[in-house]
Amino acid sequence: MLYDSVEFEEAHKAVAGLGDSLVPVDGIKERTGQHFVAFVKVNGCLWELKGTRQGPLDRGALAEDEDVLSPKTFELAIKRIMKLERDSGGQDLRSSCIALAPRTK
């Protein structure tokens, strides 16, 4: 689904060539705004785990046959982030999808 998303590809291309981040200077604790986000399904709900938050966010219910790669998850998660970027006037959200992985047992 993400592979065929023109919107997602355009967003990725827009930031892919921006270059490397500056190396932090020792002793200066400057917030870069970069963090990881994970979306997981637990007890029928899509949860967002975000490094800058104090706890998980419930993004909505998923049916039993829906998982984190379902179209509904795309609507509740990545498409929501893309809408935030678009609505903010392109204020450098810098989101990137790193990996999608199956649940391990």
Greater model confidence, 71 or 9: 71
What's the rounded mean pLDDT across residues 15-27?
62
- Please give the tally of structural domains in the chain: 1
What is d(CA 65, CA 44) in angstroms, rounded to the nearest whole number? 10
| Residue 59 near residue 72, CB atoms below 8 Å | no
User: 1: which 2 tokens?
Assistant: 């689904």
CB atoms within 10 A of CB 11: 22
pLDDT of 31 higher than 60: no
Element (H, E) at 6: helix 6-16
Taking 70 as the threshold, does the pLDDT of residue 37 lie above it?
Answer: yes
Q: Does the pLDDT value for residue 14 go beyond 80?
A: no
| pLDDT of 101 above 70 | no
pLDDT category of residue 59 using cuts at 50, 70 and 90 = very high
Residue 67 lies in a domain: yes
Phi-psi region of 27 (alpha: psi -120 to 50; beta: other; left: phi over 0): left
Residue-range definition of the domain harbouring residue 60: 35-90
d(C-alpha 61, C-alpha 43), whole Å: 9
Residue 9 belongs to some domain of the structure: no
Note the pLDDT of residue 2.
65
